[in-house]
Chain A
Amino acid sequence: DQQVKQNSPSLSVQEGRISILNCDYTNSMFDYFLWYKKYPAEGPTFLISISSIKDKNEDGRFTVFLNKSAKHLSLHIVPSQPGDSAVYFCAASANFNKFYFGSGTKLNVKP
């Protein structure tokens, strides 16, 4: 039973446009959420996080939105660049370092 789901396995976006990656979760105890980025043959690297006390966190071109009532978070990348092409994982935790990961969304940014 997966507690974190990323229902879009892939997404293709034109360079310069907005990329929106979505993530849903089922456990209302989750209070901390992360996005990781993964290139082929490498491990995931931390991208951005958000605590449940916030509904938005921004870091440069990356913004994460959290909708607790819908148990939904999204990652916006504006503007998208070809170097953003990677697999993006969302992860969630309930007050400890045990994270539940989604299955990832492969983003392809076309030049």
Chain B
Amino acid sequence: DTAVSQTPKYLVTQMGNDKSIKCEQNLGHDTMYWYKQDSKKFLKIMFSYNNKELIINETVPNRFSPKSPDKAHLNLHINSLELGDSAVYFCASSQGTSSYNEQFFGPGTRLTVL
């Protein structure tokens, strides 16, 4: 019974393609996040949604578009993939938007752009 799940776990694709990563949480949380772990291993926040509303939108190329169909899902769609998009993408969720609300992470999706 995975609390935060992501699909797929691995994604290998060609430059220029469009791909999506799905995230689902069964914790009943109202806030979800996407993080990118780059080649230098830093985890960087990309987006955050609270009750399906975008509340954090970092400086991310507009080729990245998050979509939250409901509170339990936050999907990440990436258009026109570039080599620099290769990274591990983590989804997370929390109950509430305070920094005191623990974030629970998914296992990550390793994206490789060739």
Binding site for B on A (CB under 8 A): 2, 31-32, 36, 41-46, 49, 89, 91, 93, 95-104
Contacts and interface: CB of A to CB of B under 8 A. Distances in A.
Given A43-B4, A43-B92, A98 B56 contact: yes
Most buried by B among A89, A91, A99: A99
B103 A99 contact: yes
Interface in B38-61: 40-45, 48, 56
Nearest to A92: B99
B101 A97 contact: yes
Nearest to B105: A43
Given A43-B92, A45-B105, A98-B45, A32 B40 contact: no
B75 interface: no
Interface of B: 4, 31, 33, 35, 40-45, 48, 56, 90, 92, 94, 96-108
Given A98-B48, A99-B103, A44 B98 contact: no
B98 to A, nearest CB: 6
The A contact surface, by secondary structure, is loop
Contact of B98 (A45, A91, A97, A101): A97
A44 B90 contact: yes
Contacts of B40: 103
A97 B94 contact: yes
A74 B4 CA distance: 28
A101 B99 contact: no
Nearest to A4: B42
A104 B31 CA distance: 25
